[in-house]
Structure 1
Amino acid sequence: MQPHVFQAMSWFITFIAMIFICGSALVFANDDERYVNCSNSFDCGDIKGVGYPFWGSNRPDYCGYPELKLDCSDQDPEITIEKLTYKVLGIDNQTRTLSVARKDYAENICPTLILNTTWIPNLLNYTSDDHNITIYYGCPPQGAPTSTVLPQFPCEINATQMTGYFTAFANFSVLGSSASSLISYLASCKDSIEVPVRESAFQQILSTPTAAQLLGSLNQGFGLEWNASNSFCDTCQSSGGKCGYNQTTTAFTCYCKDQPQQFSCQQSPTEAQSPTNDQSSNNSTKKRPLVIGLSTAGAVVIGIFFGCWILFLVQRRKRKSAQVKSKGLPVATPPSSKGLTTSTNLSQTTTSLTSSKSYLENGSTYFGVRVFSYNELEEATNCFDPSKELGDGGFGTVYHGVLKDGRVVAVKRLYENNMRRAEQFMNEIEILARLRHKNLVILYGCTSRHSHELLLVYEYIPNGTVADHLHGRQSNSGLLTWPVRLSIAIETASALAYLHTSDVIHRDVKTNNILLDNDFHVKVADFGLSRLFPNDVTHVSTAPQGTPGYVDPEYYQCYQLTNKSDVYSFGVVLIELISSLQAVDTNRHRHDINLSNMAVNKIQNHALNELVDPSLGFDKDIVVRRMVTSVAELAFRCLQQDREMRPAMEEVLEALKRIEKENYGAGNAEVLDIRDDDVGLLKHAPPPVQLSPDSLSDPFWADSSSTITPHSY
């Protein structure tokens, strides 16, 4: 064998040996690092033994939920939830209760920023011991109630003097004849918020309704129950694992000694309780590294043999080629082999990859859309001036901006540049870059995914969202007449039908994600949760995500996402267009908290008139009555629990077009109601399972339920 061949083989054998040593180190390493780190509780200020679902201090973020980070820099630990900071008074792992008090009310009943106490849906909920106190700020001096009716207090907020009141009762009827005048007066106050207190503190306020007592009661705090995949965590712990959270999949994860699992370690709870099985498991665990090591060694030996053989063939071909060249003959090109790549090709590939990355960083395009520099978008939004905010929510803040070329844009600034946000960022770019439809918002570009901030640039849609006009800040404009609402339904259905034919499921269809231009034409937005859906599969198994009130109950129960999941959500949108009511409203009767449940009941009981927005003229206009009834029937079909009973989005679109065409040219035909035969058939179908806010306790809702208003790009 030639010396240079021997040298190459020696290098190859050394390289394989290094791989073997490193692989052996990994095989024989101790328990998984995440398992070890999440096994240990931590102390946070005066609170000892804190564990899942919390993290902070020296406990990594993958050991707890992203929203439940504790600040342990002081003796009094703190937690920030939905932009408000709270003092953590205690953590009870047995009852899974967190005791907190609002930090902004620590010393003063008049905080600088007046913010409501809000929670992360389905992750944190009030306990049965909590009661709300309503505090009013900036009340006018005219018509003020006497101090015997409501306790008042003076306030100075941002150098402005004002008067405030508070009340510990929710029903003003207890005030008798003065109730109506008092309600009218309090409605004229500039701000009002609700702050929870414990039952004992609540009683103290009732007995001594003074500002000092209110402040003392607020500092006693209140309780919050957490539901961070509690059932999954119990299963994980019983199998010997440690509970955690996967930032990549945004779902609960069970960390085991060898590697993370979805819900539990391989050993079952029954095996864990059996001494015999414990011994057997320990023996098999001890033998496993040896078996793996021997198998790896055998594979390495075989690899060395084949490596030497390949090197020998390469060198022989090189010698033959040299001999042919020396004789002046053309060189024959050897047949390609999957296992062989010359150094020249490798160099070219590396250069190509490097240049591609450089190309991306320097602007140009990404997935076919333009890549903006951070400085360019900072200039367009005047350094992300707060006065230019269009809205904010769970994923980021949207700003109004003007590019150098004069285009008016909406810039979404994602909150955190972490793996989870990067995936949503990439997902939205990949989907919107390949789609073109007049009713889908246009994505102009983005920053590089390697940028220190993730920014998405959309066309600016000036007229807010459908939610704004139905039950938000523009709900009193009166601009959403029935023809406009039907047009919105048709255009939204057209966009969704196009998505489905393009193998995309939106997965977050709601009125907050339907934007309107000045002519009330639809632009469907927010594709952060969307999924590509291959046309050769029946469903995609994935953890439920979306917004409570809109999520397909079958998807929630079976973890099977289909395009019929969007149909269900669109059914809720249709009911919103008919009723102008919110999809979820805890102020309604408990059976009607979910609008879909309320609608199904009204339609089945022939009480559609009780659901319809009175401003639409349902009782006076025959044509409107006919069309609203037909759309309600269609929505009823979309809201069926069994996805097989729901129509496809293409069918929904055709039905809406037919309703519009048949009725606008029908003249004064007879008033139609829901047909008895149709209702009879539907009555015997199982009604949709409705998920109240209390029942939506699955962890996967934690960050998805937040909405960006008024613009949810």
Structure 2
Amino acid sequence: MFQILLLLGSLLLHEEASLAAPLVKGNCLPTCGGVTIPFPFGIGAGCFLDEWYEIFCDESTYSAVPMLKKPNLRVLNISLPDSYGRKNGMISVSLPMINSPNGTCRGNGSSTPVSLNGSHFIFSESRNVLTTVGCNICVLLDDQKSAIIGCKSSCKDDKVVRKMTCSGSDGCCRTTITPDLQAFSITFNHEKGPAKNQCEYAFLGDRSKFTRSPIDFNKLKASGHFPAVLEWGIAKSSRAASEIYKHGDSYECSNFSFNSVYRKAMPFLQCSCRGGFTGNPYIKYGCEDVDECKGPTDPCPGRKCVNRPGSYDCVERSKTIKFLLIGMGSGLGVLLLLLFLWLLYNFLKKRKEIKLKERYFKENGGLLLQQQLCSSETNVDKNKLFNSKDLEKATDNFNKNRILGQGGQGTVYKGMLADGGIVAIKKSKAIDKGKVEQFINEIAILSQINHRNVVKLLGCCLETESPLLVYEFIPNGTLFQYLHDSLVSWGARLQIATDVAGALSYLHSSASIPIYHRDIKSTNILLDDRCRAKVADFGTSKSLSLYQTHVTTVVQGTFGYLDPEYFQSCQFTEKSDVYSFGVVLVELLTGRKPVSFLGDEEERNLASYFLLSMDENCLFDIVDPQVLKQGKEEGIVAFANIARGCLNLHGKMRPTMREVASELERIRKLENPAIRHGNTHEKRETSTRWDSVGSADVISLSDLQPLMSSESM
């Protein structure tokens, strides 16, 4: 507690001393229009690091306006990372809105989004949201890497109201953006066609502006701009970075987010003065020592205060026995008081931790899950509630060296439980409070899945801010790594395709409640020690009631695997999973990646290039040499026809996963007669082969095992 009091005092002194610390280089202008301009930003030649940090002070209006010259954005505020790691370097700017090409508000805003490519700025994921204004439209943001996000806006009678809170049903919707976003494109989709005489637009904006009061969107439309927040830093290899490392021990730099719970890596370097120093770390000798002894209060009552770099010492003024005895008595009293305060602090800390765990448990739906565990109507008694301390110990306190992978739904760590069992622990992103019941129901459903080709959910922990899900550990990595980093036999490819098809068929039609995966891709297919496939990552999956045929959702998925029909309609069906599986089949057949930015333009999207090759009878020009060497021509063609059927642009013309699984099993037996059954008197079954327009040729099969045997359950 005594140290805490000293720290609070040093914070006050730090803030007072920062007024005198240097922020700009030499005689450069420190402000423009009331906005402080710290280096590496600057006004005029020699005052900024490079062209991205140049500020132009526009004095053509009655008051000066600072402009970030390279992207031509008005600057509202610039902040440095502070000395105590409480915030990152931020720059608040006025960002133009992106107007729909079919709307009526082309006079304001812009038709194309601002690009920060080439800079060391990113749109802040924690501070900004994507906002859409308009009636019955679905706006999608493509981050030009691998992620597509969006939201759907609707309103009554196709009339946008004057003031909105962006709930999704009042003519405005909003959603979070992807991390490390520097450039993006916007697509406007209409459910009923473009509305007449309607102004439709989207923009990235500071989420804090939505929490104060409903926004008057008539004023916003007239201005054409909205405040947004950029995070900034400098390149590790820049001249400024090399200078900083020479300045001494009053600076520290990191490429991790200062205020991120998970220490998220940033694509640039951020520097700050160490504790006990204040100023601008980007200027040589710009961090000054804070003299704690000259503060408004005496940090050493009855003693002499001696300042030293980054801290201070308290020295006794008198050496007499009287003062020594008084000092010893006072010291003992202070020691006992500190011991009491320390015990009290630990007690309150533990109590606070318990209360916090109870709060997180309730917010994450723990009570609802307990009800389901105690219910005789469900079979979730096998699901286990894990303790957060045990999972922290299992992952070495979520050490970054234990990370197995990261995605849009969270981070996966390798862990060892107390009984020696190896597991995969997924640290999910925070749950939307309105979707807690849905999240718990999906945990209950996924815990009942018992299929040999689906990664088993072992349990969860709900007493942390972000839920922790515990899965069985699959040792041999992902299909993407296996396929693109080593030679894979044709037989192994057939086995993997059959395993995944069987798992999806089970989820779609054999589970107690139909489940749509919604993110089938080779990186979500894991391989065990026998190279048998297991479907993983159900973070975006959806369960349906018995009579539902589709779900209408915000568009989520991975570029290259995303169903074009789902992209247009925002309606996800079981045939959307079929399309994504078709892309995986083409990966297995060709050994190519789903998206490539090398080669000719027609080869960049694997699905489109495969369909074009099929139409031009050039299939064997793109098939992997390993497949051509080991496979039979009949089997390869049949396999390609299945993939072509799955990739049909019309979802209704695609086969079901049950049909796909049966056909793959037929091809596997055709390629390897040794796995056929010897009983020739079994009933002959039929399987279907699909062509590019969805027509079917029926061929006769015999000796097929049932798709869902007791072994697979």
Question: What range is the shorter-chain TM-score in?
Answer: 0.3 to 0.5
TM-score of the aligned structures, taking structure 2 as reference length: 0.47
**Larger helix proportion of the pair:** 1
TM-score of the aligned structures, taking structure 1 as reference length: 0.47
